[in-house]
Amino acid sequence: MARPKSPLLTTGLIAHAALELIDSGEPFGVNALARRLGVRPSSLYNHVSGREEIIELVRGLISRSYDFTSADVHALPWPEAIEEYLRLERRMYTEHPNLLPLIATLTVTDDTAIAAYDGLATMLVRAGFPDDDVLVVMQLLDAFALGAGLDYAAPGDIWRPLGETAHLGRLLETAAPGRERSDRAFELGIRVLVSALQDMLTERTQGAAARTAD
């Protein structure tokens, strides 16, 4: 039998090539992806419905390579588990900075990514957060991890004043490099958020206890 000229197209192959294209920094699009795979765009459309489905496949691929649902993380007390979760999510964004803007504003449907968020929801429910707060807390944590990923992806010199400033220019001259500051900002943010969640839970629990005692 003659060997096929090109490997058979599968959604797995499409996702891998799409991630490579995104990581390369070249603009992402169905046509560019087809060129990279050496196929016609119409061949891609035999496997996926379009740009959004491809990005969602990439989200699945990347979610499987960061172990959000690891038993180790979920065995930790919830405040530490949340810290680990945030570190992992930020690492995912810092290691694939071009992916962040593509996946951030797309509905999550991929099974593995949903399982990761479901794990976080379960963690918060078990910790004792009222149902009404769980998704809000998840969106706050997600926003923080996304913002931290964007901050890390920013160039080393985030601010470059071209004229006089009251303080900014002076502070930049003696400051640590941008990414070192980004790490410090992230650690500060984690500490602050997790400790605020602990306070919030205490308040909610005491409030509920007081209502029960009435």
Binding status of residue 182 toward a copy of itself by CB under 8 A: yes
> Residue 154 Cβ, how far from a copy of itself at the closest point, in Å?
5
Residue 27 φ/ψ region, left for φ over 0, alpha for ψ in the -120 to 50 degree band, beta for the rest: beta
CA 84 – CA 86 distance, rounded (Å): 5
Q: Per-residue x/- mask for a copy of itself, residues 72 to 101, rule CB under 8 A?
A: -------------------------x--xx
110-149: contacts with a copy of itself (CB under 8 A): 111, 114-115, 117-119, 121-122, 125, 131, 134-137, 139-140, 142-148
> Residue 64 Cβ, how far from a copy of itself at the closest point, in Å?
16
- Give the SS3 label for residue 10: coil
> Residue 108 Cβ, how far from a copy of itself at the closest point, in Å?
5
Cα 51 to Cα 36, 39, 65, distances in angstroms? 15, 16, 22
Record the tokens describing residue 20, joined without a space. Answer: 């490579």
Give the nearer residue to a copy of itself in terms of CB position, either 107 or 212.
Answer: 107
Q: Per-residue x/- mask for a copy of itself, residues 185 to 214, rule CB under 8 A?
A: xx-xx-xxx-xx---x--------------
Q: Long-range contacts of range 63-70, CB-CB < 8 Å, 24 or more positions apart?
A: 63/110, 63/112, 63/113, 63/116, 64/112, 66/91, 66/92, 68/115, 68/116, 68/119, 68/120, 69/115, 69/116, 69/119
CA 141 – CA 123 distance, rounded (Å): 13
> Residue 4 Cβ, how far from a copy of itself at the closest point, in Å?
32
Give the nearer residue to a copy of itself in terms of CB position, either 84 or 133.
Answer: 133
Cβ neighbour number for residue 19 with a 10 Å cutoff: 21
Give the nearer residue to a copy of itself in terms of CB position, either 19 or 129.
Answer: 129
Rule CB under 8 A: choose which of 68, 78, 82, 151 binds a copy of itself. Answer: 151
17-36: contacts with a copy of itself (CB under 8 A): 27
CA 112 – CA 15 distance, rounded (Å): 14
CA 105 – CA 110 distance, rounded (Å): 14
Answer for the pair 45, 33: CB distance below 8 angstroms, yes or no: no
Q: Which residues bind a copy of itself (CB under 8 A)?
A: 27, 97, 100-101, 104-109, 111, 114-115, 117-119, 121-122, 125, 131, 134-137, 139-140, 142-148, 150-151, 153-155, 157-163, 165-169, 171-172, 174-175, 178, 181-182, 184-186, 188-189, 191-193, 195-196, 200
